[in-house]
């Protein structure tokens, strides 16, 4: 027997309600990382240390979560926190970042956050492995190279030979970029031990890039000397 018009309307209404419910659930999943994380660095740190800040299913929400993790481990607010709270953030962020990285093996930011968390716990072997993966899957993206350089320079003495070689490639990429060269020039001025290594890299670049680097170093030097 064919369904009656009333039954058809009931089925349509039920289907519509199910779609609305599913859409609401997905919307909450997407909004959760932004709502749970908090509006300030302190709130985000607290949410991560307690494990109440989690990423949603989209790429944007995962990237926000991973960025919050880097801020919580390296930002100004993190410096004054208790070691046990910093350890809790590193542990939680590392666990989630590793899960994201295994689900999306080409997510260079997830591998980097995992590497940073392992550095916090002095797991040098795992740090090198994760940092190397980040380098391999994203060789030409300046923004992620800039983040990797920060970690690699902080852990330079612990880098494996292959990670150190790819770190040099990241440095060369930054020297050739508009934004990255400013950070490299600033490090050249403020960190004497860095100078010999970056000069050796710059000398392998085209003359135009070398001149741009020298110009930015002069600017950084003048800025540092300004009272």
DSSP string, 20-67: HHHHHHHHHHHHHHHHHH-SSHHHHHHHHHHT-----SSHHHHHHHHH
Q: Does residue 26 belong to any structural domain of this protein? A: no
Distances in whole angstroms, Cα of residue 129 to Cα of each of 97, 98, 119, 153, 189: 14, 12, 11, 16, 30
- 25-34 long-range contacts (CB < 8 A, ≥24 apart) are 26/57, 29/56, 29/57, 29/61, 30/56, 30/57, 30/58, 30/60, 30/61, 31/56, 32/56, 32/61, 33/61, 33/64, 33/65, 34/61, 34/64
Q: Does residue 27 belong to any structural domain of this protein? A: no
The answer to whether residues 121 and 145 belong to one domain is no
Q: Does residue 9 belong to any structural domain of this protein? A: no
Looking at residue 223, its pLDDT comes to 82
The answer to whether residues 163 and 200 belong to one domain is yes
Tell me 226's DSSP state: -
The answer to whether residues 87 and 165 belong to one domain is no
Question: Of 151, 93, 96, 144, which Cα lies nearest the Cα of 127?
Answer: 151
Domain boundary among 117, 138, 159: 138
Q: Does residue 22 belong to any structural domain of this protein? A: no
The answer to whether residues 84 and 159 belong to one domain is no
Residues in the chain: 227
Residue 44's Cβ-side half-sphere holds a number of Cα atoms within 13 Å equal to 23
Quick one: CA torsion of 174, 180, 184, 189, rounded to 10 degrees? 150
The answer to whether residues 175 and 203 belong to one domain is yes
The parts of the chain modelled with pLDDT lower than 50 are: 16, 19-30, 34
Q: Does residue 3 belong to any structural domain of this protein? A: no
The answer to whether residues 41 and 126 belong to one domain is yes
The answer to whether residues 165 and 216 belong to one domain is yes
The answer to whether residues 202 and 149 belong to one domain is yes
Q: Domain tally for the chain?
A: 2
Q: Does residue 18 belong to any structural domain of this protein? A: no
Domain boundary among 138, 154, 176: 138
The answer to whether residues 156 and 219 belong to one domain is yes
The answer to whether residues 124 and 154 belong to one domain is no
Q: Quote the domain boundaries for residue 183.
A: 139-227
Q: Does residue 92 belong to any structural domain of this protein? A: yes
Looking at residue 114, its pLDDT comes to 98
Looking at residue 5, its pLDDT comes to 59
Measure CA of the first residue to CA of the last residue in the chain; give whole Å: 90
DSSP string, 154-177: HTGGG--HHHHHHHHHHHHHHHTS
Domain boundary among 138, 160, 184: 138
The structure tokens listed for 139 are: 């060789």
């Amino acid at each position: 027997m064919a369904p009656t018009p009333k039954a058809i309307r009931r089925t349509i209404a039920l289907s519509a309600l199910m779609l609305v419910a599913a859409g609401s659930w997905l919307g909450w999943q997407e909004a959760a990382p932004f709502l749970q994380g908090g509006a300030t660095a302190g709130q985000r740190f607290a949410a991560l240390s307690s494990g109440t800040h989690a990423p949603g299913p989209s790429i944007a929400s995962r990237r926000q979560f991973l960025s919050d993790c880097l801020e919580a481990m390296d930002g100004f607010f993190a410096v004054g926190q208790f070691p046990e709270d910093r350890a809790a953030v590193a542990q939680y962020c590392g666990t989630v970042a590793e899960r994201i990285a295994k689900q999306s093996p080409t997510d260079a930011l997830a591998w980097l956050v995992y590497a940073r968390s392992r550095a916090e716990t002095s797991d040098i072997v795992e740090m090198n492995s994760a940092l190397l993966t980040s380098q391999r899957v994203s060789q030409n993206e300046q923004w992620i190279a800039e983040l990797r350089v920060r970690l690699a320079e902080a852990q330079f003495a612990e880098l494996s030979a292959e990670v150190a070689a790819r770190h040099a490639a990241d440095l060369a990429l930054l020297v050739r970029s508009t934004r990255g060269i400013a950070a490299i020039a600033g490090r050249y001025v403020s960190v004497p031990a860095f100078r010999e290594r970056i000069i050796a890299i710059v000398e392998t670049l085209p003359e135009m890039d070398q001149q741009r680097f020298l110009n930015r170093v002069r600017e950084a030097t003048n800025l540092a000397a300004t009272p």
